[in-house]
Structure 1
Amino acid sequence: MPASLSELQTPGLELDRPDGKAGSPVGMAEYTAPLVGGEEDEDAELPPDFNRLWTSAQENPLDFTSWTELLQYCEQESHVKASRRALSSFLVRYPLCYGYWKKFADLERRAGNTKRAEEVCVEGLKAIPLSIDLWIHYINLLLGTLDMNLPESTQRIRSVFEEAVAAAGLDFQADRLWDLYAEWEKEQGHLSAMTAVYDRVLRIPTQLYQNHYEKLKTHITSHPPQSVLSPEEYKKIRATYRESVAQGEGTNRVSDGEERPPGEDETSETANGTDTEEAVQKMQELLLAAWEKTHAQNEAEVRKRWEFEDAIKRPYFHVKPLDKAQLKAWQSYLDWERMEAHGGNIEGDVTQEQEAEKCDNCVSGHARVLFLFERCLIACSLYEEFWTKYVQYLEPHGLDDTRTVFRRACEIHLPHKHSIHLQWATFEERYGNLQEARRILQALEQALPGLAVVRLRRVGLERRAGKLEVAESLLREAVEQSKAMGQLHAFYSIKLARLLFKLGKNTGRARAVLQEAIELSPDNSRLYLNLLELEVSGDPRINGSAVQQCISRALAAPLSPETKILFSQRGLQFAEDFGSSVQSVLGVYDDHQKLLKELGSRKRGAENGDNDDSEKISKTDDGSGTMAAAPPAGPPVTTTPPPPMMGDMSGSHAGYGAYGSWYQQQQYGSSYGGYHNPWSQYNQYYPPS
């Protein structure tokens, strides 16, 4: 007997059961790899082209075509060992492909491994518990292999049916599953159980809701109430019928167990104790009247959802991208269901009493929202925004369920999408699980080595945890590993220098980091700007010479003319603000004028206020903002000062912390594998709602 299907369960989604107990919720269990073949197949030779196709798929695991070619070849060859190996590896990467789970189970069944076929179905249902097709395939497998003359076989089938409708019964297209359940109960001779099945589905909005109602009416009118109802329900409907008869005749109601006047007979029973034909007809009418009201309510719910359901053209998983209309349809449906469940409040603020009332109706509520999210994440599992939307909804309802969804997204469906991993790490850090946050970021960095945003998030995590030594060590490691990539090495060097200077209060070590980076990248203006910011931040009476040395070094470096003018201007500003004598200020001013002459008339025009050239100067390759024009010849005291030196120079001289321009620099993308970092808006910390 395979593993219990109860492993699919997680608190959240419940359906009514005939015994009155809560049903099984939507499966959000961790998925494990499917079972591979037994030892008896280890010595079998593989088909001739298997190794070539297998290698192609393993080298390109994200290439869906390589996998399908491998699987088609194995199927054509009818080779059990090759098919097992290919299917097992494929389904680890694409567990939502229910059709291949069915192929895997059929493969094992044809090979005579019935138990293994059942185990494959169970593994598949862990991965995709909402698959109506896979549930029906599993049930048919059991029906074809179990000895139905045994009472335990009947009980097992009924148990699986209950698991199936609990996991997937809310699906808009779950009609085949409900019909199969009802017909199976009829075949077993359990007419009352068949009635109970139809009674349950009659309260669920499905595509063929009208068919269920018609089948229920036929079922009820084809058999006496005593056969299609449980003893408790039958007793209740008889009491209702007697009450209606008593009220119609103007007599007093006579309840079961009470003595009747001498000579008065039970009008609803014949001599042999069965219901009269009139009584049967009246009770059937009473039953159908009650179900008519339920059917009308359900029909209204179907109409609300019909337009949303009709807009969904691909409810199954596929690697092909969905068009914008499909994505918008899912977004709109989710937003509507959330508002419907929570009284028009999409944020989900609802009292427990309101939530209980919704759940009692089994039409809308938290359970349906969860189910719709699960349906959506079959078709949209490769889109981060839907996982983000799901965890944002789940977080107020339960951290464990939220964590489980993060794990499914990151470890199964989106192992190479960094944004959702960063959100998960932030989630764990926010709730104090620092070790788990570290593990997530380390695993992500191993999967996507060299991704700058991940290393910086690791550094930030350690810094916020008060572990400055670890943060420094991570940055130093990044500096060492990126020496062959000039732009990236400069980027990490600036980050390390800032950490040492701002938090470590160690100017000397920060200076050494920047000077070493300048030796490797003498044409990187950001390094000079950050070194200048470091020197200017000190005591000007002590650091004056260091500031001028930094400026002189920048002027001698292979930097653009515009950048050199910037440094010369700042040197002049520093001299004006902190120079010890007017002679020193005049000397710096003269050097500045000589630089303008050396750069030519075009640059001189820019410094004297030419609009076109000044605009060009504002677009320097170091990401700096607009620079003030240089003064005309005359006393230096009339010089219009350039922007003050302040803040973080890693991305712009305009302000500390404005390093969004660094992330968006084109040269960084070209020098580092074309990676364009979206982190400048911090959307992995606070994803859009």
Structure 2
Amino acid sequence: RLMESGRLERRMRRRRSRSPSRSRSRSRSRSPRRRVKRERRSPEVKREMDLDHVGNEGLPKDIEIFESFAEKNSSLKRIMNKFDWDYDDANMWMETMKELEKEGATMDVMRAAFSEVLDRWPYCYGYWCKWATIEAKIDALKAFEVFEYAVNTFPLSVDLWLAYIRFMRTELMKRSDGLEGIQRLNARALMTVGKEWRSLPVWKEVIAFETSIGNPLAVTIVLDNMISTPMEGMADAWELVMNHFERTPLKDLLKPMERNEVESECLKNVTNIDEEGCKMRALDRRHSIYEETRRRANEMTVFESKVKRHYFHWKPLERGQLINWKKYLEWMCDHSEGREEDCILTFERALIPCALYDEFWLMYAEYRESRGELEMAKGILERAHRVHCKRSVNIAISLASLLETMDLDFEATEALLKYDMNYPGNLLIYNRYLSIIKRREARCGGECVHEKGVAETYECLIRNAVLPYANHNIRYISHKVKENDRLNISSYYSMRYSRYLRKVKGQSKMAMKVLKTAISNDPTNETLYHALIDLHYEKYPLDIQSIKESFDLCLKSSMTPLGVKVRMSQCKIELFEEIGTCPREMREFTSSHRELMASRGEKEL
């Protein structure tokens, strides 16, 4: 029974931390319509068609298979217990994956483990490649699916694209239409990752393939695109251009229109067409483009040369690296006029090594928002909120703020609710949630269609220290908040609620009732007593008797600590020096204060 209870708790914790995007993709892949269409295909047709449509559906996974295997395997279970089955602990997964390979786990277990790791850290290209390699030993189609899903999830990985291209070349050349498939993939790779600073190996891979199949004109087109793209190794890129021009005949080198233009220019000076002269003229045209690109690359090298870790890792990035990326992005933003795509690419590249730092996501979203691209900014913050910076309060609040700006109030509060479900007890989240509800009620005349109103939210926070959910969720999530924190949250929102009732709703009696209830629950909280006294002090005409009773509520309570009583007694004397009308009362207050001081072992100066 205890084992089942522990397993259930681990399962609930894992499901809460799982990315919503994956669950949505799984639900789409299981739709009846798609299932029927797949069942109607013959195995041969199904296989041929799926090779062209891999990646349209999410990869399936069943973590229960992994958990069952871990329970039965003593060495793996020891690792999981060592980390308390914390699925968000990267070190646990590093040891777990090594152990799975060592133990020779089944493919279903490996798939479940890879899915869990890459759900949380999708920029770990090494795990994508390892997964695809293992799948390829059993079923090439599964390897296709993994690679396709990988490059859609992590499109700016040069190493991932290289592995995918090489694998596809081996497999697709077995098909009659394989050549076209490889060329489509090559074009897609260059379109996706070709502008990355370290993308020269991808360009070389495509050039080598087109050369191997005897397509020199295609090589020229690829080279022309390459030398107009600033990247690392521009000198090597130009060397490739020169070698290609040197060994390729003019008739195969250029498009007919450009060849005619070059030949016409040569005929102005000579009577016969000189092939080498025409090549030199075509090369001169490209050299001017290359020089301009190299100048831009040299400007970027100032920052690129300082990048020590261009890949993702969950270990902290050095402070100097973070500063360099920040300055690089600021420089790109300042020089992005007419080159907005380069600026966006640099942001996406920075988010790979800096994925765990919310300030870079916020900076990127602000840049997109400044250009009026609110949907793009929303997508950026959702990526961070859902996957990379799930614990970041700043991301959650910024996303809610942007959604509210876009008149998506319900989605804004949903983002805050989801954060609170996983990481309850954060006052910033609660305050932003309340402010959104208040603004909505002000706009719609006090009616709130989709969710609880301001008063009900305050009451829920005071009772349970969490936002209003369904009752079973409130009970479960409330237990995740520490008892002391729950009491502090309850007292804090009692004060805020009483202020709201008094200042906004004009309900002074209700405000006093809220504070008195809070004091009865938290009699050691000095701030609550001050709030109650201030509430009486703001009345006109002044109700001295009520103020006196509020002080007595503190001073006569057996639950109030002595230190709090001493401070409140001193405050009482000072206040009644200002508003008091009876000298006899002042003598009584002073006498009581001396007794408190004496009981604390202090002498009045």
TM range, normalised to the smaller chain?
0.7 to 0.9
Number of the residue aligned with 2:213: 188
- The one of 386, 389, 393 equivalent to 1:411 is 386
Number of the residue aligned with 2:556: 556
Q: Work out whether residues 71 and 86 of structure 1, in 8 Å CA contact, stay in contact via their aligned partners in 2.
A: yes
Does residue 235 (structure 1) correspond to residue 267 (structure 2)? The answer is no
Q: Work out whether residues 237 and 283 of structure 1, in 8 Å CA contact, stay in contact via their aligned partners in 2.
A: yes
Q: Secondary structure at the match of 1:382?
A: coil
1:491 is matched by which residue type in structure 2? Y
- When residues 41 and 537 of structure 1 are mapped into structure 2, their CA distance, relative to the original with a 3 A threshold, is closer
- The one of 123, 129, 136 equivalent to 1:109 is 136
1:424 is matched by which residue type in structure 2? L
Counterparts of 1:89 and 1:179 in 2: how far apart (Å)? 34
Counterparts of 1:41 and 1:141 in 2: how far apart (Å)? 28
Does residue 65 (structure 1) correspond to residue 62 (structure 2)? The answer is no
Relative to structure 2, which stretch is displaced further, 562-571 or 392-401? 562-571
- When residues 510 and 43 of structure 1 are mapped into structure 2, their CA distance, relative to the original with a 3 A threshold, is closer
2:350 is matched by which residue type in structure 1? C
2:355 is matched by which residue type in structure 1? S
Does residue 316 (structure 1) correspond to residue 311 (structure 2)? The answer is yes
Q: What's the offset of the Cα at 1:147? A: 2.8
Q: What's the offset of the Cα at 1:560? A: 4.3
Counterparts of 2:552 and 2:77 in 1: how far apart (Å)? 63
Number of the residue aligned with 1:34: 59
Counterparts of 1:475 and 1:199 in 2: how far apart (Å)? 64
Q: Deviations over 1:291-331 (max 9, x none)?
A: 22222212212221212111100000001001111111101
Counterparts of 1:232 and 1:149 in 2: how far apart (Å)? 35
Q: Deviations over 1:657-684 (max 9, x none)?
A: xxxxxxxxxxxxxxxxxxxxxxxxxxxx
Counterparts of 2:453 and 2:57 in 1: how far apart (Å)? 34
Q: Deviations over 1:581-601 (max 9, x none)?
A: xxx332343234334543369
Q: Secondary structure at the match of 2:132?
A: helix
Q: Deviations over 1:354-410 (max 9, x none)?
A: x2xxxxxxxxx1111100111100000000110111001011221111111011100
Counterparts of 1:522 and 1:149 in 2: how far apart (Å)? 79
- When residues 550 and 120 of structure 1 are mapped into structure 2, their CA distance, relative to the original with a 3 A threshold, is same
Does residue 305 (structure 1) correspond to residue 300 (structure 2)? The answer is yes
Q: Work out whether residues 312 and 329 of structure 1, in 8 Å CA contact, stay in contact via their aligned partners in 2.
A: yes
Counterparts of 1:91 and 1:385 in 2: how far apart (Å)? 23
1:394 is matched by which residue type in structure 2? R
Bigger radius of gyration = 1
- When residues 200 and 453 of structure 1 are mapped into structure 2, their CA distance, relative to the original with a 3 A threshold, is same
**Structure 2 unaligned blocks of 5 or more:** 1-54, 466-477
Task: State how 1:291-302 maps to structure 2 within 5 Å.
Answer: 291-302=286-297
1:141 is matched by which residue type in structure 2? F
Number of the residue aligned with 1:169: 194
Does residue 74 (structure 1) correspond to residue 100 (structure 2)? The answer is yes
Q: Work out whether residues 33 and 92 of structure 1, in 8 Å CA contact, stay in contact via their aligned partners in 2.
A: no
Relative to structure 2, which stretch is displaced further, 217-226 or 233-242? 233-242
Counterparts of 1:149 and 1:281 in 2: how far apart (Å)? 40
Q: Deviations over 1:504-541 (max 9, x none)?
A: 21111111111111112222111111101111122225
Counterparts of 1:518 and 1:41 in 2: how far apart (Å)? 50
Q: Work out whether residues 548 and 571 of structure 1, in 8 Å CA contact, stay in contact via their aligned partners in 2.
A: no
- The one of 436, 439, 462 equivalent to 2:411 is 436
Q: Secondary structure at the match of 1:540?
A: coil
2:94 is matched by which residue type in structure 1? T
**Structure 1 unaligned blocks of 5 or more:** 1-29, 246-266, 269-275, 343-354, 356-364, 576-583, 606-689
Counterparts of 2:58 and 2:209 in 1: how far apart (Å)? 32
Counterparts of 2:129 and 2:313 in 1: how far apart (Å)? 16
- The one of 107, 132, 135 equivalent to 2:161 is 135
- When residues 53 and 593 of structure 1 are mapped into structure 2, their CA distance, relative to the original with a 3 A threshold, is closer
Counterparts of 1:477 and 1:439 in 2: how far apart (Å)? 16
Number of the residue aligned with 2:20: none
Number of the residue aligned with 2:544: 544
Number of the residue aligned with 2:355: 381
Q: Deviations over 1:42-79 (max 9, x none)?
A: 99997664455456678212211110111111222333
Does residue 158 (structure 1) correspond to residue 183 (structure 2)? The answer is yes
Q: What's the offset of the Cα at 1:562? A: 2.9
Q: Deviations over 1:137-164 (max 9, x none)?
A: 11111111113673x3222211111211
Q: What's the offset of the Cα at 1:101? A: 0.3
- When residues 143 and 478 of structure 1 are mapped into structure 2, their CA distance, relative to the original with a 3 A threshold, is same
Number of the residue aligned with 2:583: 586
Q: Work out whether residues 387 and 409 of structure 1, in 8 Å CA contact, stay in contact via their aligned partners in 2.
A: yes
1:475 is matched by which residue type in structure 2? Y
2:583 is matched by which residue type in structure 1? L
- When residues 53 and 84 of structure 1 are mapped into structure 2, their CA distance, relative to the original with a 3 A threshold, is farther
- When residues 166 and 56 of structure 1 are mapped into structure 2, their CA distance, relative to the original with a 3 A threshold, is farther
Q: Secondary structure at the match of 1:130?
A: coil
Work out which structure has the larger RCO, using CA pairs closer than 8 Å and 6 or more positions apart in sequence. Answer: 1
Number of the residue aligned with 1:272: none
Q: What's the offset of the Cα at 1:210? A: 0.5
Does residue 574 (structure 1) correspond to residue 600 (structure 2)? The answer is no
Q: Work out whether residues 573 and 590 of structure 2, in 8 Å CA contact, stay in contact via their aligned partners in 1.
A: no
Q: Secondary structure at the match of 2:349?
A: helix
Q: What's the offset of the Cα at 1:554? A: 3.1
Q: Deviations over 1:71-128 (max 9, x none)?
A: 11122233323222211111111111001000111111001x1111011011111221
Relative to structure 2, which stretch is displaced further, 564-573 or 131-140? 564-573
Number of the residue aligned with 2:471: none
Normalised to the residue count of structure 2, the TM-score between the two structures is 0.80
Number of the residue aligned with 2:516: 515
Number of the residue aligned with 1:25: none
Counterparts of 2:227 and 2:547 in 1: how far apart (Å)? 81
Q: Secondary structure at the match of 1:563?
A: helix
Number of the residue aligned with 1:492: 493
Counterparts of 1:501 and 1:43 in 2: how far apart (Å)? 57
- When residues 226 and 552 of structure 1 are mapped into structure 2, their CA distance, relative to the original with a 3 A threshold, is same
Counterparts of 1:57 and 1:280 in 2: how far apart (Å)? 70
Number of the residue aligned with 2:459: 476
Counterparts of 1:204 and 1:240 in 2: how far apart (Å)? 27
Counterparts of 1:305 and 1:206 in 2: how far apart (Å)? 9
Task: State how 1:12-27 maps to structure 2 within 5 Å.
Answer: none
Q: Which has the higher helix share?
A: 2
Normalised to the residue count of structure 1, the TM-score between the two structures is 0.70
Aligned length: 514
Does residue 221 (structure 1) correspond to residue 246 (structure 2)? The answer is yes
Number of the residue aligned with 1:666: none
Number of the residue aligned with 1:446: 421
Q: What's the offset of the Cα at 1:172? A: 1.3
2:307 is matched by which residue type in structure 1? I
Task: State how 1:317-332 maps to structure 2 within 5 Å.
Answer: 317-332=312-327
Identity of aligned residues (%): 23
- When residues 549 and 54 of structure 1 are mapped into structure 2, their CA distance, relative to the original with a 3 A threshold, is closer
Q: What's the offset of the Cα at 1:487? A: 2.6
Number of the residue aligned with 2:11: none
- The one of 104, 116, 124 equivalent to 1:89 is 116
1:219 is matched by which residue type in structure 2? H
1:511 is matched by which residue type in structure 2? M
Q: Work out whether residues 425 and 489 of structure 2, in 8 Å CA contact, stay in contact via their aligned partners in 1.
A: no
Number of the residue aligned with 1:535: 536
Counterparts of 1:415 and 1:375 in 2: how far apart (Å)? 20
Counterparts of 2:582 and 2:57 in 1: how far apart (Å)? 73
Q: Secondary structure at the match of 2:168?
A: helix
Counterparts of 1:160 and 1:58 in 2: how far apart (Å)? 43
Number of the residue aligned with 2:17: none
Counterparts of 2:59 and 2:82 in 1: how far apart (Å)? 21
